[in-house]
Amino acid sequence: MDTTERFSDRVEDYVKYRPGYPNEMIPFLHDAIGLMPTWTVADVGSGTGLFSRLFLDYGNRVFGVEPNAAMRFAGSEYLREYGRFHAVGGTAEATTLKERTVNLVAAGQAFHWFDAPAARTEFQRILVPGGFVALVWNDRKIDATPFLEEYEALLFSDGIDYAAVNHRNIDAAQLGAFFGTEPFAAQEFSNQQVFDWDGLYGRAMSSSYIPGPGHERHGAFSRKLRDLFDRHAQNGHVAFEYDTRLYYGRLT
């Protein structure tokens, strides 16, 4: 499947159940790279607008570059109150934005889908001289609790292509090659989601590597997920804990 279309049938669950990003990231970026409300931000792979909202609340003008039409529409709806948000049908490799018009290129939960060399060239084209790139992932902890350990095992055993598309496949060497000769920096934040059964099911279905309704393995996956929930829920809830990892720097 074209990677830009992987989430076309996951949009509703993505909107409802994907985690946002820690608010502390904005003051951190202010201190670390000089982020100001006057900056123009390109949120590349903006999806349903979760990352864009942080910058919009800070005062930035944001171009949400999203190739998937259903996701782009959902993002426009989610952010319709913000006059400074502009949805753009483009890709990381061809944003359609004008040359040297962006102070910061941001990508939340998206960089692992990019053609990194082509995206690097495109980001260099649209960034103003001295502009920055910030790559962010909500990295679900896989061994913090017995529930999270078993959930991770379930993704490997009953997911579709989890091992192949896992964002953890992006390592320091790949990030170093992307940023270039000037060292990039990293920062970590804590994040969490708490789910009842409906929330856990929706969170799972928001992931493209999970067999969704209509898939031959959906029933088996759902039964195992329900068993996992029933064994680990406390007061009817389970928790996803995340390390939100931020990588930032200039492209050289």
pLDDT digit string (tens) for the chain, length 252 residues: 454 554 455 567 777 888 899 999 999 999 999 999 999 999 999 998 999 999 999 999 999 999 999 889 999 999 999 999 999 999 999 999 999 999 999 999 999 889 999 999 999 999 999 999 999 999 999 889 999 999 999 999 988 877 776 556 678 889 999 999 878 999 999 999 999 999 999 999 888 788 888 888 899 999 999 999 999 999 999 999 999 999 999 998
Contacts of 32 (CB under 8 A, 6+ apart): 185, 187, 248
Domain 3-140+166-192+241-249: CATH class, spelled out = alpha beta
Contacts of 175 (CB under 8 A, 6+ apart): 135, 184, 247
pTM of the model: 0.86
Give the whole-angstrom CA distance, residue 217 versus residue 159.
9
- Contact call for residues 242 and 138 (beta carbons, < 8 A): yes
Question: What's the CA angle centered on 164, arms 160 and 167, to 5 degrees?
Answer: 110
Q: Where are the domains of the chain?
A: 3-140+166-192+241-249
Give the whole-angstrom CA distance, residue 225 versus residue 163.
18
* Residue-wise DSSP of 88-113: E---SS---PPTT-EEEEEEES-GGG
Contacts of 70 (CB under 8 A, 6+ apart): 7, 8, 11
